Structure 1
Amino acid sequence: CLSPQVCLFHSTLLMKSAFTDSLFSAEDEAFLLQRLVVLSQHPLLSPPEKLFYIDCILSFPENRPIGCGDDALPVLLTPRLASVLVPTVFNDSATLLARLHLLCLVYLEEEDEEEEEGRGLGYLYDHLTSLLRIVDNGGSREIVVTFFRAAFLFLSYFFPVERFSHSLMEELCSLYLRHTHLAPHFINLADHIQEQLSESNWATEFLMALQGAITDAELTSKDLRWHLKILARVAEEGEIKQQSTVDFLSHIITSSSLCVKGDWRLGNFLLGVCRRLLVHPGFDELLIPLADVLQHLASRYGDTDIRDHARLYYTLLTTLSKDKLAGVLSQGYGEGGGQAKKRTFSCIVAESEGLTSLLTVHRAKKIILKLVEEPQTETGSGLNLNEDNPEEASVALEQYRAQFDVPGFASEIPLNYQLTHSESADSCFDQLFSIRLHFSLTDDHYELLGDISVPCVFRERPPPSVKLRLKPRRPQPTSLHASAIFTAQDGFSWLTDLPDVHVAFQQTFLPLPAPETWGRGGRLSLFDGFWDEMSREEPTGGATSLFCCQLQEEALKTLVEKHFLPYLVSDPSDKEEIKVLFFLPPQSHLLLRIRSEETVHFNVATDNWQLLPHINSYLLTLTSSQEDTHT
């Protein structure tokens, strides 16, 4: 919902579009445009509002418009005025791309010789290379996508400027060799450039440069499948010679253990390149070396399926003419390489018998299932009666940290849910069988989750339990997209989306995984050791904070018993200071020293400073609920 100020400004622009100079003078027009530029980068406005104002600049209703079309900017929007909207790496993705688009249009209308344009276009290129450096240093998935979109925007407008387009091409090739897993992004960039800029040969030159970089680079097994994806795309270009690609294929199958291992996926990637080479316009020059590659695969590759396909390609290559070979290999493929559907007699028979519906996974129109969090039974920390406690804090820290030398130690967060019917589910879904739950992540804070199988869900029976085992990279709140495939009582298979599973910050808390021989004394020593480390001024990643609130003594006691009991380190009878230690996988800790004076002081220490905002929100929620309960 837009604010009243945004609606008012929008109404003003609509009036200007309708009445032009009969209501708005040239001075009014200049003022409105300057106001839009200011609002487009105002720090107190939300990103959607700033994006709206940028869009208003792009479609600004001039009194006497000179340009026409979607890319026509207001005449009064000069490079000097637009310079405040230059994108930075601190902008969010949408704002960055919107600003880049606007600045590209601004500098596109300037001449190359002008000093102002030279500085502006150079800055845009420097900004693009800054994004590339972030991607190169392990940027998130969002920044990777943003960079390739920004590169597409830049090339869309400035591909004729060779000093920038060629330099970007070299930077992209170097980036690919360091991060080959980004191959789909490189292919997507080349496809879109080729589709949108038919008059440019930049995409072809880029693919040729990638081909040269791959065939000249030192080969590693983990990069091979990405190299083959790129080379398969390169082989679709009739203007690019493919001799180096065939030499590369010959090298990897004869001088490596690829054929001995017989990896089916890599074999299919190899055959994919060979298939495209068989229909390449320059096929005549590749006939003999490509035949050698296929013959080697047919006789030496370790997977039977790959050998059979290679033998088929070799037979077609050696027995059919070029035109017939192209016709055979193109059968069953429509435009864009997608496989075309053919209506066969067996399909008609299947439809008449109703088997098609049985073999099809139908999508449910409503949500059928949902995951409901099971109520947790809070217990004590289970201290060992035969205590063997380290006396010194340094010894406690050493013994505790030695446990993490074991791979996978205390690395998972178990979350218990019940799988039950949603309120909107129809009665035909009362009995469900063979449910397969699939989860997908919305960020990179956690490792991928495997699918979970549930035998059945009946509406009249107690719901089955489902345990999710999250393996965090960073203990942060997150949401999981969930879906389920199941068989209903009518025998049909169905796909339904489930409501998102929200994982709150407090759900990442686990009791301290202390050695089993420790009692309360060992945990207190460990607490003191952690606190001393985190309180130092040395830049170790730790941080301390203070949270204060007004709580009655009874409210504080209730809060500790309800929320902190499994994590309590100090003696419950100690009223002067309460010590709480949370463990957050994979290896983060949160410590609380709680003192009740005129106000309740929550002294906070953590070895991960990025958790502080979440800790503050968590304590604010807890104490607010206690205040409401005891008022």
Structure 2
Amino acid sequence: MAAGWSARISAFLRGPRRFLSGTSADSFLAELLRELRDDRAASGLKVLLLSPLCEHPALLCPSASSAEDTALELSAVFAQCPPTAVEFRCQLLVAVTCVLVCSPCTSGHLAASRDFLELLLQVAQDPQGGGLRATACECLREMERCCPGLLSQRLELLDGLRQQESSRLHQAYAGLHALVLRNAVHELTQQAGAGPEHLRALLGGNAPLAWEAEQDSGPTNGSGSAGLSSLLLGPMGAVPTLHTGPDCKELRAVLSSLLEESYLLTPLCQAALLHRLIEVVAMVPGIPPAIFRAQLLRLLGTSEVCLLHTTLLLKSAFTDSLFSAEDEAFMLKRLVVLSQHPLLSTPEKLFYMDCIAHFPENRPIGCGDGDEALPLLLTQQLASALLPTVFNDGATLLARLHLLCLVHLEEDGGEEDGAGGDGAGGDVGRGLAYLYDHLTSLLHIVESGGSREIVVTFFRASFLFLSHFHGVERYAAGLVERLCRLYLRQPQLAPQLINLADQTQARLPGCDWALGLLKALQQAVISAPLGRLTLRDLGWHLKTLARVAEEGEIPQHGTLGFLSGIVAPAASSLCGGGDWRLGNGVLGVCRRLLVHPSLNTLLLPLADVLQHLSCNYRDIDVQDRARLYYSLLTTLSQEKLVAVMEQPVSGGVSGQQVKKRTLSCLMAESEGLASALTVHQTGKTILRLREAGSTAPDAPPALDVTQAEAEECSDEAGGALDAYRAQFSEPGFASQITLRFQLTHVDADDPRFDQLFSIRLHFSLTDESYRDLQDVSVPCVFRERAAPVVELRLTPRLPYPTTLRVQAIFTTRDGLTWTSSLPDVHVAFQQTFQALPAPVSWGPASRLSVFQQLWEELSGEAGDCALSLFCCQLTDAALRALVGKHFPAFLVPDPSCEDEVKVLLFLPPQSHVLLRIRADEDAVHFSIATNDWRLLPHVNSYLLAVTSAPDHAPPTAAAV
């Protein structure tokens, strides 16, 4: 049993929704709870059974009522669990917490929430609880986090527990106390007229839980939790305040006690505790920020990243109310030192540099709302320690370069023109010159064959430098010149150069540096001698020229001269080779030239290039496209040519696209041809599948068993069942169900669809109980003729009821193709019933032997086998009519027992349902046995339906 549950839990956790498609969430949850209540189950198995509730509680308990019932059941299991099963009891508390916080029960309006909170508080106060107390404390913190204010009336109790605890659990109590205190103070800030007396009552109260006083105003699940995640993320003016005046002795005493004990906590818990207390002080102006002063000495000297981040939060919240100018200078210098410390990891150094870029100042000039604004104390002399070097990794180099660019931009304002390296610019000029020299050092490494990381770092560094100093003409022009030299040496860097130009144009709208780079690249390409040009380099040059041709301000005569030189008859290496990619590269440049504003001056040379390609290029596709472009160029006006060649911005058919169609005078579009090539959508349902008359299923393929062998099997114990099961060794034996439907027109009368041809039916599954169905083809459907019969061959994975969605595509008499949705096809449970797939030579004795042996085997309740009982009230005549109508193909005659009817149902792929129907004095008993217990709900529903049919006496049915 444990192995079976382990496999089922593993299957559920791998795909919960797929797993539940074969059963219902309610039934699976009921099985889990039933097994958890079983005292015979091992503790380890019970811990495993709780994992679905911990991982997917909302899926198993989607409503408040189901969550409440589940929580009450688990709480009852917890009460009955022996104290020695500590791990199981801890997991039970976690499971109940998960169920409650993922449902509307957390509001406390339900008994399950109230009782569970009281249970957690009792466990947390139990001095003998051990590890269970830590779990209870974490569960309380999770409940309070998801529903702020649940424990606001128990602050005195939590304070006492924290002060009395001397073990390592003190840390958990301190974190819980700080969280509840923060939420309670925040609740007071939301109440009009709240004052110091309310705060004192809150701190000294130990009343029942908050919802008993405020049933209707209590917080709901998750309400406000998102807003309380942190009150310090936005500007401090948005923090709610509680006006209490200077009389806050009680709150100050609590905060001082928490702060004095904070050094006992781990760094992460200290950071979380300080974060909560910072929020409390920010909400209560009567508490001076100087209460944190005693902690600053320890925090300013810490090496823990989380505590340093908390110190920055303190500085952001209270600035000069807590930090002096000396503290600010010390913190900034410490960040500079830490951001270059050799023993720290790269992520830590990047974090410190980011803290410098967003350093909260005591006296900021302006509030940047999170934008980068370097502190005034970060001078060039202090920042010189962060100058980037080629030995830095890519991320560190870019971060340092960005920081130094901001420093020099603040000092110099970006106006460097005319300042010599050691002239009027002074130190500022030398600093900026160093950054430019560093950029050129990276460029030299790239020229020497640097790695991909170096190449990426160089281009990103170039963009950073340009984004700050693109107005410094001396450096901007020098970078263009160096990039052109780099491109001539390594043409494969064309994509990076194009991307640099694109990003500069997009991010710096008023900058014309990208235009200058593209002009220089064009000049470098067209000036290179053609004799030294390789086909590999030519592909990159064509990409570059295609990008240059997109700029209307750049003249394109040089580009056309270059194209003429490479496609001329003398240069047969290109046209004669017939490389498809190079040909399309040339056509890509020509295509952009067709829409260039100066096309009138480029007409003749461009026509010559296209004519050369259409006549001499060996690739047929390139020839055809060149001929098309030539026809467009020589036929259309420039306005029409631009309208035809430009790609539409949106995917829909707009008025502008319709206009583009009318501009072309080459060929009138045939609306009839377009309509014939389009698959049209019918506005209504045209066809439907109607269930045809049921026929006896064909005998399934069977093994070659002689009559003598069959009779021998019926005589020997177990022989018939073994021979029957041997048939399933054949792949695909008895695995399909054949359903017959008539494909008919619906009642709607539309003459266009009276005669349909070449109908193709496509079936889509709505669950995973069956394998995918093949499409079905029907030659024709005429309204005036008999409806054709369609056979669907379903291959079940699980023989459950299902629904099939049907889509049809067909052709009408006018030659148009249509698609239409058909009404869904519902496959009922009884349609999966099949007769016993026994060998055709078997007699009644063998079938009876299989029935009896199967019944004995299923009665053992091994594996997934199950027994059940269905009772109803029927007369003898009604019972005979029911059996004769619904079970004639499945009867198993038994001459030795005339007062009992035996029915054997086979459900592919290998499921069996056995019925023993017997009429007693007070009711008719349907004894059920099956090798798959999951079929029992469907069997019960089916029996209830057939026994309640109008042609039978009204029954009073019950299933056991």
Tell me the TM-score normalized by structure 1.
Answer: 0.53
d(CA) in 2 for partners of 1:57 and 1:136? Answer: 33
- Asked if the contact 1:263/1:303 (under 8 Å) is kept, the reply is yes
d(CA) in 2 for partners of 1:249 and 1:429? Answer: 61
Is the alpha carbon distance of 1:262 and 1:341 closer, same or farther for their aligned partners in structure 2, counting shifts above 3 Å?
Answer: farther
Counterpart for residue 185 of structure 1: 496
Counterpart for residue 82 of structure 1: 383
Amino acid at match of 1:154: F
Could you list the per-position Cα deviations for residues 277-312 of structure 1 after superposition, in whole angstroms to 9, with x for gaps in the alignment?
000011111011101111111111111110110010
Q: How many angstroms does 1:71 deviate by?
A: 3.6
Name the Cα RMSD after superposition.
2.7
Secondary structure in structure 2 of the residue aligned to 1:241: coil
Is the alpha carbon distance of 1:109 and 1:183 closer, same or farther for their aligned partners in structure 2, counting shifts above 3 Å?
Answer: same
Could you list the per-position Cα deviations for residues 445-465 of structure 1 after superposition, in whole angstroms to 9, with x for gaps in the alignment?
xxxxxxxxxxxxxxxxxxxxx
Counterpart for residue 887 of structure 2: none
Could you list the per-position Cα deviations for residues 384-412 of structure 1 after superposition, in whole angstroms to 9, with x for gaps in the alignment?
xxxxxxxxxxxxxxxxxxxxxxxxxxxxx
Is the alpha carbon distance of 1:350 and 1:66 closer, same or farther for their aligned partners in structure 2, counting shifts above 3 Å?
Answer: same
Q: How many angstroms does 1:66 deviate by?
A: 1.5
Amino acid at match of 1:97: L
The yes-or-no answer on 1:92 pairing with 2:393 is yes
- 1:459-470 paired onto structure 2 within 5 Å: none
The yes-or-no answer on 1:279 pairing with 2:595 is yes
Q: How many angstroms does 1:197 deviate by?
A: 0.8
Secondary structure in structure 2 of the residue aligned to 1:37: helix
Is the alpha carbon distance of 1:430 and 1:40 closer, same or farther for their aligned partners in structure 2, counting shifts above 3 Å?
Answer: farther
- Asked if the contact 1:295/1:311 (under 8 Å) is kept, the reply is yes
Counterpart for residue 421 of structure 1: none
Secondary structure in structure 2 of the residue aligned to 1:94: helix
- 1:98-137 paired onto structure 2 within 5 Å: 98-111=399-412, 112=416, 113-137=424-448
d(CA) in 2 for partners of 1:306 and 1:67? Answer: 60
Q: How many angstroms does 1:119 deviate by?
A: 1.1
Could you list the per-position Cα deviations for residues 580-601 of structure 1 after superposition, in whole angstroms to 9, with x for gaps in the alignment?
xxxxxxxxxxxxxxxxxxxxxx
Counterpart for residue 513 of structure 1: none
Is the alpha carbon distance of 1:347 and 1:190 closer, same or farther for their aligned partners in structure 2, counting shifts above 3 Å?
Answer: farther
Q: How many angstroms does 1:109 deviate by?
A: 1.6
Amino acid at match of 2:595: V
Q: How many angstroms does 1:349 deviate by?
A: 5.4
d(CA) in 1 for partners of 2:582 and 2:648? Answer: 23
Counterpart for residue 624 of structure 2: 308
Is the alpha carbon distance of 1:277 and 1:68 closer, same or farther for their aligned partners in structure 2, counting shifts above 3 Å?
Answer: farther
Could you list the per-position Cα deviations for residues 64-96 of structure 1 after superposition, in whole angstroms to 9, with x for gaps in the alignment?
111554242100000000000011111111111
Counterpart for residue 5 of structure 1: 304
Counterpart for residue 931 of structure 2: none
Counterpart for residue 15 of structure 1: 314
Could you list the per-position Cα deviations for residues 567-613 of structure 1 after superposition, in whole angstroms to 9, with x for gaps in the alignment?
xxxxxxxxxxxxxxxxxxxxxxxxxxxxxxxxxxxxxxxxxxxxxxx
Is the alpha carbon distance of 1:427 and 1:199 closer, same or farther for their aligned partners in structure 2, counting shifts above 3 Å?
Answer: same
Q: How many angstroms does 1:114 deviate by?
A: 3.6
d(CA) in 2 for partners of 1:262 and 1:50? Answer: 54
Counterpart for residue 555 of structure 1: none
Q: How many angstroms does 1:430 deviate by?
A: 11
Q: How many angstroms does 1:110 deviate by?
A: 2.0
- 1:364-379 paired onto structure 2 within 5 Å: none
More strand by share: 1
Could you list the per-position Cα deviations for residues 301-351 of structure 1 after superposition, in whole angstroms to 9, with x for gaps in the alignment?
11111011001000000010000000000144559xxxx999x97675599
d(CA) in 2 for partners of 1:145 and 1:81? Answer: 29
Is the alpha carbon distance of 1:51 and 1:251 closer, same or farther for their aligned partners in structure 2, counting shifts above 3 Å?
Answer: same
d(CA) in 2 for partners of 1:429 and 1:161? Answer: 70
d(CA) in 1 for partners of 2:647 and 2:463? Answer: 33
d(CA) in 2 for partners of 1:429 and 1:73? Answer: 64
d(CA) in 2 for partners of 1:213 and 1:204? Answer: 14
- Structure 1: which 5+ runs fail to align? 353-425, 432-631
Amino acid at match of 2:619: D
Counterpart for residue 606 of structure 1: none
Counterpart for residue 236 of structure 1: 550
Q: How many angstroms does 1:226 deviate by?
A: 0.2
- Asked if the contact 1:67/1:73 (under 8 Å) is kept, the reply is no
Counterpart for residue 509 of structure 1: none
Counterpart for residue 166 of structure 1: 477
d(CA) in 2 for partners of 1:321 and 1:72? Answer: 54
Amino acid at match of 1:85: L
Greater Rg over alpha carbons, structure = 2
Amino acid at match of 2:546: A
Q: How many angstroms does 1:218 deviate by?
A: 2.2
Which of 618, 623, 646 lines up with 1:330 in the alignment? Answer: 646
Is the alpha carbon distance of 1:351 and 1:130 closer, same or farther for their aligned partners in structure 2, counting shifts above 3 Å?
Answer: farther
Secondary structure in structure 1 of the residue aligned to 2:411: coil
Higher relative contact order (CA 8 A, sep 6+): 1
The yes-or-no answer on 1:138 pairing with 2:449 is yes
Amino acid at match of 1:164: Y
Counterpart for residue 451 of structure 1: none
Which of 557, 562, 569 lines up with 1:248 in the alignment? Answer: 562
- Asked if the contact 1:40/1:51 (under 8 Å) is kept, the reply is yes
The yes-or-no answer on 1:27 pairing with 2:341 is no
d(CA) in 1 for partners of 2:682 and 2:332? Answer: 63
- Asked if the contact 1:156/1:193 (under 8 Å) is kept, the reply is yes
Amino acid at match of 1:78: T
Percent identity of paired positions between Structure 1 and Structure 2: 65
Which of 210, 213, 234 lines up with 2:521 in the alignment? Answer: 210
Paired residues, number = 353
- 1:48-59 paired onto structure 2 within 5 Å: 48-59=347-358
